[in-house]
Amino acid sequence: MRKLFSLIKTDLNMTFGLSSLSFKAKEKQERWKFILIVVVMFSLIPFYRLFVSWLLKIYTGLSMLNQEGSFMLIGILYSQLIVFILGIVHVMSKYYFSNDLNILVPAPIKSSFIIGSKFISICISQYISQLVLTLPFIIIYGIKSQLGFLFWIYSFIIFLTLPIIPLSFSSIIVMFFMKYTNIKGKKDLIRGIGYFLLIGIIVFLQLKIQSLGNNIEIGGEQYLNKLLADNSILIKNIGKSFPPSIIGTFALVRSNSFNGFLNLILFISISIGSFILLLFISEKIFFSGLIGSSEMAFKKSSLQEKTIKDSFAKSYPQYISIFLKEIKMLFRTPIYLFNSIGGVIIIPIVLVMTTIINGKGSFGAISGEIEDQTHLITLFGIGLISLLGMTNSVGCTTFSREGKNFWISRVIPVKVEHQIIGKILSSLFIQLIAIAAFIISISFIFDLTLTNILGIVFLGLLGSIPMTELGMIVDIMRPLLVWDNPQKAMKENLNVILGMVVGILYLLVIGMIVFYYITKLELNIIYFIITTIFILSSFLLFVWLKKLCISQFSNIE
């Protein structure tokens, strides 16, 4: 057990940088980062207040139907589902792509100890997001329902154990996935395709189960009477998508009775059992999925003189070579691929599957509102695709992803402007995937015209250029070059948040201009104004970015 506690302590220190916090707090160059984080947090308070007010309205509506317990279920259920889905990427990065594995694997340490320490580190990091997402549900329900002291004790225990079950399931799925996709020479491609199929299957099953739970064939008046008579109907129906959430909910809503205590014990037991099951499975399959994860496979072939000459004779423009290098880096590192592409296709997948399962009628009200104003679809698509140019994290982590190899960009005989163009092209390539996913998904809801599609594609890509450049400016000014896990270069990089803030402000200004003139000018003039802004800002940002890169390439050690 001493080894396990040492691993946990070391992993927490590496993950959160505990030993360096006091040092960084004293450094003048680092203090502004803490100040900036606080400023960003305070800037989000208005949005969080809207979220809390929305939750209060939901609670009021459910309490009128005698179903306020289902409000607590919503908080627990969706918190666990978010941990489960997002945990797949986090778990894969932490278990299989951390730099410390080169030290831990050869050491005389059980795989269950390695997994256990990393699991606890991930679980603790999840508490931060759970505070934001789950705590409002607990506070609102506890105050509005006027429950006793036991509710708050149970809430604290449930909160601590909430991420364990979904993270355990995520970990088990990832370990089996890595074991059976560890195919020599093709593992990166298979894992890339398999990951998105896995996410698609999970989302589909979740929506399908929830649809079956909600579509109960009961008459309107009869169903309303049952709701008023039994305050657990919605809990049982909605919670079918993830049964442990029902147990956790009953532990809280029935905290004043012995039944609540039994549900609490059962929830804790399932959490501990899922963790033990994870450790047991890790002893069997973890190493088999890990071996070969960082190896490069080469296809054996007999090289002839002509083949060698042809290979050396191939040449590309410098910016194309940089583009190909960036794309290969993204696709050969699953964590980069999942973070860049995953975010831009998850929402379209949910839209498509919701339409398939529940029918197009679920969006009937929205469709009717803009049926005669299809240009709104184009404008919305342009804004969304432009925003994804920042949220795909390709631009705002382009230098950070190079890590310790950043020196290569400084010394290679490639002009700075060509490096910038190549990196922009790599972001636009990801944007093409986002555009395809958006158009396919939105076509399930609305009848798109050729004008809609061309407007979204052309102006969406054009708007992605300045957004990518803004992200690159943020990243080159403060690149995160020292990291022990590729996940930190993208998912845990403050540059992503800073880039999103800057990008949102940029789009907000354009949106205000469009909103002001949309009823005063012809639509074609509006598109011309947007095009002009995108082109002009792209040029000016490119000039600024070039100067910054030249300066930083010389100054960064």
**What single letter denotes the amino acid at residue 556?**
I
Max mean pLDDT among 149-163, 367-381, 514-528 falls in: 149-163
Name the pLDDT band for 193 (thresholds 50, 70, 90).
Answer: low
**What single letter denotes the amino acid at residue 375?**
H
**What single letter denotes the amino acid at residue 168?**
S
Mean pLDDT for all residues in the chain: 78
CB 413 within 8 A of CB 320: no
Task: Choose one of 290, 310, 336: the last residue of a domain.
Answer: 290
> 298 pLDDT exceeds 50?
no
CB 385 within 8 A of CB 438: yes
Assigned domain for 519 exists: yes
**Spatial distance between the Cα atoms of 372 and 120, rounded to a whole number of angstroms:** 53
- The encoded tokens of residue 332 equal 């050969």
Share of the chain above pLDDT 70, in %: 72
Assigned domain for 34 exists: no
Q: Is 323 found in the same domain as 282?
A: no
Max mean pLDDT among 78-92, 300-314, 345-359, 540-554 falls in: 540-554
Least confident of 67-76, 97-106, 277-286: 97-106
Neighbour count for residue 147 (Cβ, 10 Å): 18
Residue 448 sits at φ, ψ, to 5 deg, of: -80, 145
> 216 pLDDT exceeds 50?
no
First to last CA, the chain: 41
> 414 pLDDT exceeds 60?
yes
pTM: 0.66
Mean pLDDT of all residues in 238-256: 83
Assigned domain for 27 exists: no
Tokens 């809430």 locate to 155
Q: Is 214 found in the same domain as 79?
A: yes
pLDDT for residue 356: 54
Q: Is 519 found in the same domain as 386?
A: yes
Q: Distance from CA of residue 34 to its chain's centroid?
A: 23
pLDDT for residue 471: 92
Assigned domain for 30 exists: no
pLDDT for residue 310: 55
- The encoded tokens of residue 216 equal 């109960």
Q: CA separation (Å) from 331 to 6, 48, 191, 340, 341?
A: 35, 35, 10, 10, 10
Q: Helices 69-96 and 135-145, interaxial angle, to 10°?
A: 160
pLDDT for residue 420: 93
Tokens 């003139």 locate to 517
Max mean pLDDT among 97-101, 196-200, 520-524 falls in: 520-524
Neighbour count for residue 506 (Cβ, 10 Å): 20
pLDDT for residue 535: 95
Assigned domain for 17 exists: no
Q: Is 273 found in the same domain as 344?
A: no
Q: Is 375 found in the same domain as 270?
A: no
Residues 6+ apart with CB under 8 A from 459: 378, 382, 527, 530, 531, 534
Assigned domain for 305 exists: no
Mean pLDDT of all residues in 451-475: 91
> 461 pLDDT exceeds 90?
yes
- The encoded tokens of residue 164 equal 């364990």
Name the pLDDT band for 107 (thresholds 50, 70, 90).
Answer: confident
Max mean pLDDT among 27-31, 458-462, 494-498, 517-521 falls in: 458-462
Tokens 């270069």 locate to 489
Name the pLDDT band for 465 (thresholds 50, 70, 90).
Answer: very high
Task: Choose one of 271, 290, 309: the last residue of a domain.
Answer: 290
**Spatial distance between the Cα atoms of 131 and 129, rounded to a whole number of angstroms:** 5
Assigned domain for 310 exists: no
Q: Distance from CA of residue 200 to its chain's centroid?
A: 14
- What DSSP string runs through 387-424? HHHHHT-SGGGTTGGGGGGHHHHHHSS--HHHHHHHHH
Assigned domain for 52 exists: yes
> 28 pLDDT exceeds 60?
no
pLDDT for residue 369: 53
pLDDT for residue 507: 92
pLDDT for residue 333: 73
> 183 pLDDT exceeds 60?
no
> 510 pLDDT exceeds 60?
yes
CB 456 within 8 A of CB 385: yes
CB 453 within 8 A of CB 439: yes
pLDDT for residue 348: 63
pLDDT for residue 212: 46
- The encoded tokens of residue 118 equal 């990393």
332's torsion region: left (phi>0), alpha (psi -120 to 50) or beta?
A: alpha
Choose among 230, 233, 260: nearest CA to 248: 260
**Spatial distance between the Cα atoms of 477 and 365, rounded to a whole number of angstroms:** 46
Choose among 90, 53, 55, 50: nearest CA to 75: 55
pLDDT for residue 273: 94
**Residue 367: Cβ-neighbour burial (10 angstroms; 0-12, 13-18, 19+):** middle
Neighbour count for residue 316 (Cβ, 10 Å): 11
Neighbour count for residue 92 (Cβ, 10 Å): 25
Q: Is 335 found in the same domain as 270?
A: no
Q: Is 324 found in the same domain as 223?
A: no
Q: Is 48 found in the same domain as 140?
A: yes
Residue 507 sits at φ, ψ, to 5 deg, of: -70, -30
Q: Is 366 found in the same domain as 258?
A: no
Q: How many domains does the chain have?
A: 2
Mean pLDDT of all residues in 261-279: 93
Mean pLDDT of all residues in 521-545: 92
- The encoded tokens of residue 468 equal 């990518």
Q: Is 477 found in the same domain as 413?
A: yes
Task: Choose one of 275, 290, 305: the last residue of a domain.
Answer: 290
Q: Is 452 found in the same domain as 415?
A: yes
> 421 pLDDT exceeds 90?
yes
Residues 6+ apart with CB under 8 A from 83: 126, 129, 130, 162, 163, 166, 167, 170
**Spatial distance between the Cα atoms of 492 and 494, rounded to a whole number of angstroms:** 6
> 266 pLDDT exceeds 90?
yes
Least confident of 69-83, 427-441, 483-497: 483-497
pLDDT for residue 262: 94
Choose among 430, 443, 435: nearest CA to 381: 435
Q: CA separation (Å) from 457 to 164, 428, 430?
A: 42, 11, 13
Q: Is 423 found in the same domain as 499?
A: yes
Mean pLDDT of all residues in 15-25: 57
Polymer length of the chain: 557
**Spatial distance between the Cα atoms of 96 and 104, rounded to a whole number of angstroms:** 12
Q: Distance from CA of residue 77 to its chain's centroid?
A: 18
> 120 pLDDT exceeds 60?
yes
Quote the domain boundaries for residue 468: 318-555
